[in-house]
Structure 1
Amino acid sequence: MSDPTTVGPPPGVVMPPRRRKRRVALWSTLAVILVALVVGAIALDGVARAYAGALIEKKVRSSLSIPASTPVDAKVGGASVLLQLLAGKLERVDVTSKGLTIGALTGDALLTATGIPIDQSKPIDRARLKFSVDGAQLRTLVGEVSGLPVNSVTVESGAIAIGTTITVLGIGIPVTVAVTPSAVDGQLALTPKSVQFNGQTLSPAGLRTTFGSLADAILTTRKLCVAKYLPKALTLDSVAVNGTSVELAVTADNVTLGSELFATKGVCAAK
């Protein structure tokens, strides 16, 4: 009998090694597992982000006495919420509320807080609240600060236009005073920059030339203390005109949301 002959692959043909097949299968399995872990981590982080936002919304409602009927939405920013929780501090939180009432004003609010510790007994690094109101909402407030009868209030051309009436020799003259709002020592200040009457626009100097001391009643910079509307922790630090609305901004540094500084309103000095 002849020796058995081993049949191999045809010349020039290389058969793939079994090890290579196993290696490809291993890497494919690892890739699937890795993708599953990433998807799971993203999903878990999303759940943690939503849960943290809900807790913050509840805390903000309680601290600022926001009624349940007023919508509030809290979003946690920054990197992975899970990593932030492990670090013991959230990087940034944005809270929005439309139709929020503060004192005599109702408008849209944006609260931005940074460095929020998980331990609620510790202070946050910084909180800044921006509150936007239109001319209709400003009418009551402007009437309180101007000391003049207010016929109308509009926001235009970077200023607040106040329609009022001045009396000269027993005759009522309708005028529109354009004032520039600003924050001065935590108070809302309204500084006249021009006056319109009888189809003319006059500067403060021009109005004094025409009416003399009678113009003082409408050319005086008026200030309004807004502390009585705000938590003690918040101080008015800027006022800006944006289109047809006025944005009031208040800031607090190193305060605890649940502290007395947030729970109680500020006090205005007696006039």
Structure 2
Amino acid sequence: MSDENHTLPYPSADSEHPTLVIPGGKDGGDAGATPPKRARKRWPWVLLIVVVVLAVLAVAAELIARAVLPGIVRGMVIEQLDLPADQKLAVEADGILIPQLIGGTLDTLHLSTDSVTLEGITGAVDVTATGVPLRGGDLASASGTIRIDESQFTSLLSNTELPIDTVTLESPNATVAGSVSVLGLAIPVSLTVTPGVAEGDLELTPVGLTVGGLEVDADQVGSSLGALGEQLTQTQRICIADQLPAGITLTGLQIDESEAVITVDVDGAIATDQTLLEKGTCP
């Protein structure tokens, strides 16, 4: 071979001629590629939606229960006590109702009315019962108040021997007025007493007395009217059990302006024992 056709050498690897890297090659890999995004977990959102739906349903059920329960309880009370069909009666239950309804017992139930007649006594009644079974049974406990006016309070005093024609209530006392016969003459008498309760009986404690329009003391009355005078100046105990349902016991009484407020305790068996709804008896 001649020098005119000599073989040229390969160019040296330098900065002017860099080696190209083929993408995806075995040695180069895919170092610059963005990794695929992971799918977001949706179950927390689904769980949240389920919880919200359940909460809404629970609230709706509670509202429905509170709307329906008063009518049911009112109907049961009216039937049990043989009250008029149009008797107004407010019913309110404490606490969350749904668990109580499932358990079959109401924790606390409030019943109130501005006017109701029980065994001939008419007044405003407010009663709170606890442990009220929805499927029948005795109440755990019950108590309340009965507010009566002067005419109804006069009826409660029918068993006393005091001369009573009228009764005036003015807190904290009651004034009973009537007349007594002395030597064939009718003498007007007015006795002011502080009402209370003793062992379930109505108690009247005298605090003032007028005879013939004149205020007198106890000694004068005792000497001039004899046994009647002593009766007028002594504390009177009056049984009124025969004017109330047998399941109701008096625990307190006070005069509030022109009304008598009677505090009562109710036998829990009154819900199942019909005899406790009938009038009681006095010894």
Work out whether residues 63 and 262 of structure 1, in 8 Å CA contact, stay in contact via their aligned partners in 2. no
**TM-score w.r.t. structure 1 length?**
0.76
Q: Encode CA deviations 1:208-244: one digit per residue, 9 max, x unaligned.
A: 3675555224234433333233333222222222222
Q: Distance in 2 between matches of 1:256 and 1:169?
A: 51
Q: Encode CA deviations 1:146-166: one digit per residue, 9 max, x unaligned.
A: 324433211113111112223
Tell me the equivalent position of 1:60.
Answer: 77
User: Structure 1 vs Structure 2: percent identity of aligned residues?
Assistant: 27
Cα RMSD over matched residues? 3.5
Tell me the equivalent position of 2:237.
Answer: 223
Q: Distance in 1 between matches of 2:244 and 2:228?
A: 35
Is 1:43 aligned with 2:60?
Answer: yes
Tell me the equivalent position of 2:187.
Answer: 173
How much has 1:71 moved relative to structure 2?
A: 1.6
How much has 1:35 moved relative to structure 2?
A: 4.8
Higher-Rg structure is 2
Residue segments in structure 2 that go unaligned for 5+ positions in a row:
1-31
Q: Distance in 1 between matches of 2:217 and 2:53?
A: 69
Tell me the equivalent position of 2:203.
Answer: 189
Work out whether residues 121 and 243 of structure 2, in 8 Å CA contact, stay in contact via their aligned partners in 1. no
Q: 1:220 to 1:53 in 2, by over 3 A?
A: same
Work out whether residues 145 and 222 of structure 1, in 8 Å CA contact, stay in contact via their aligned partners in 2. no
Tell me the equivalent position of 2:251.
Answer: 237
Residue segments in structure 1 that go unaligned for 5+ positions in a row:
1-5, 7-17
Where do 1:1-271 residues align within 5 Å? 34-77=51-94, 79-120=95-136, 122-142=137-157, 144-197=158-211, 201-202=215-216, 204=218, 207-208=221-222, 213-255=227-269, 257-269=271-283
Work out whether residues 130 and 142 of structure 2, in 8 Å CA contact, stay in contact via their aligned partners in 1. yes
Q: Distance in 1 between matches of 2:183 and 2:108?
A: 59
Work out whether residues 61 and 67 of structure 1, in 8 Å CA contact, stay in contact via their aligned partners in 2. yes
Provide the secondary structure at the position in 2 that maps to 1:124.
Answer: coil
Residue 202 of structure 2 aligns to which amino acid in structure 1?
L
Q: 1:214 to 1:254 in 2, by over 3 A?
A: closer
Residue 97 of structure 1 aligns to which amino acid in structure 2?
T
Work out whether residues 221 and 230 of structure 2, in 8 Å CA contact, stay in contact via their aligned partners in 1. no
Provide the secondary structure at the position in 2 that maps to 1:255.
Answer: helix
Q: Encode CA deviations 1:189-211: one digit per residue, 9 max, x unaligned.
A: 32322213566545545643675
Q: 1:181 to 1:63 in 2, by over 3 A?
A: farther
Work out whether residues 164 and 174 of structure 1, in 8 Å CA contact, stay in contact via their aligned partners in 2. yes
Q: Encode CA deviations 1:41-78: one digit per residue, 9 max, x unaligned.
A: 2231122133232222222223323222432222112x
Q: 1:210 to 1:42 in 2, by over 3 A?
A: farther
Q: Distance in 1 between matches of 2:246 and 2:135?
A: 22
Q: Encode CA deviations 1:115-139: one digit per residue, 9 max, x unaligned.
A: 112331x321101132110112222
Q: Distance in 2 between matches of 1:201 and 1:185?
A: 32
Q: 1:92 to 1:241 in 2, by over 3 A?
A: same
Work out whether residues 59 and 257 of structure 1, in 8 Å CA contact, stay in contact via their aligned partners in 2. no
Provide the secondary structure at the position in 2 that maps to 1:153.
Answer: strand
Moved more, 173-182 or 123-132: 173-182
